[in-house]
Amino acid sequence: MFETDDFIEHYRVRPGGEVTLSQWDPDDTSGCDSGQEQALPRFEELTRELGELQDVLYAGRDRKVLIVLQAMDTGGKDGTIRRVFQAMDPQGFRVVGFKQPNEEERDHDYLWRVHRQVPRRGEMVIFNRSHYEDVVVVRVHRLVSPQVWRKRYDQLKDFERMLHEEGVIILKFFLHISKREQKARLLARLDDPKKRWKFNPNDLKDRKRWPEYMRAYSDAISKTNSTWAPWYIIPANHKWYSNLAVAAIVANTLRSLNIRYPQPDYDAGAIEID
């Protein structure tokens, strides 16, 4: 099985490199060739550790962590949040979903609603979809001109650089599934009465635009990848494996911060409680 450093090295996009998603295998499970049974104990260990690390993060009220999750429909973002971050304390943990902007949000610049949701000190925030909709969806659906979305790449890098310089740790994950796997997951939603609410017939229109989305995501990842806000392309045809990879990378990042519980300003040994 891969060690954590191997996951990072394998799936992190190198700064300055051009990404072509067709060259990244969404079926890859090379870090755990023996399958899900081998991965489960390590995954459970990582989720426990994530809970402990997030507790220290919240107690210290110093560092801030932002995790961006992007994927095609059925890519597994919701499941990743439920499984990988199951041990999080909601006092210091939030999930923010970005849908179509409302009237108030459209009256401001496109990053206004995003900036309002970035983490506070001691907080971990996950963006379930994000500011990257403004260089992907708007491009594919031709909601703005190419002159508009092209200049946003530099704006997004500058925005993330500013957050980084203000102490925000940023991790960006693209959960990469194949068109074949998406079909299987859409059919599974239709077959399960408990999941049919997730199915939107309009999503099939986006499915027909698959090549356009792959080009848009490839460009967005290439042009906004940086040392301060790296992209990870996670093979996600196998949910257990994508969850393992995300958990390993997030845990390693939190470990590297060397965060500690704050020391009290009193002598605990001298206190007596009747």
Residues 105-156: pLDDT tens digits?
A: 999 999 999 999 999 999 999 999 999 999 999 999 999 999 999 999 999 9
CB atoms within 10 A of CB 36: 14
Residues 262-272: pLDDT tens digits?
A: 888 877 778 88
Residue 90 has pLDDT above 90, yes or no: yes
- φ/ψ (deg, to 5) at 144: -135, 165
What is the DSSP code string of 8-26? HHHHBPPTTPPP-GGGS-T
What is the percentage of the chain residues whose pLDDT exceeds 70? 98
Q: Which residues contact 197 (CB under 8 A, 6 or more apart)?
A: none
Residue 4 banded pLDDT, cuts 50, 70, 90:
low
By the 10 Å C-beta count (0-12 exposed, 13-18 middle, 19+ buried), 204 is classed as exposed
Rounded to 10 degrees, the C-alpha dihedral 37/2/247/135 comes to -120
- Global model pTM greater than 0.85: yes
User: Distance (Å, rounded) from C-alpha 117 to C-alpha 94?
Assistant: 9
Delineate the domains of the chain, giving CATH numbers in brackets.
4-14+36-129+157-181+198-260 (3.40.50.300)
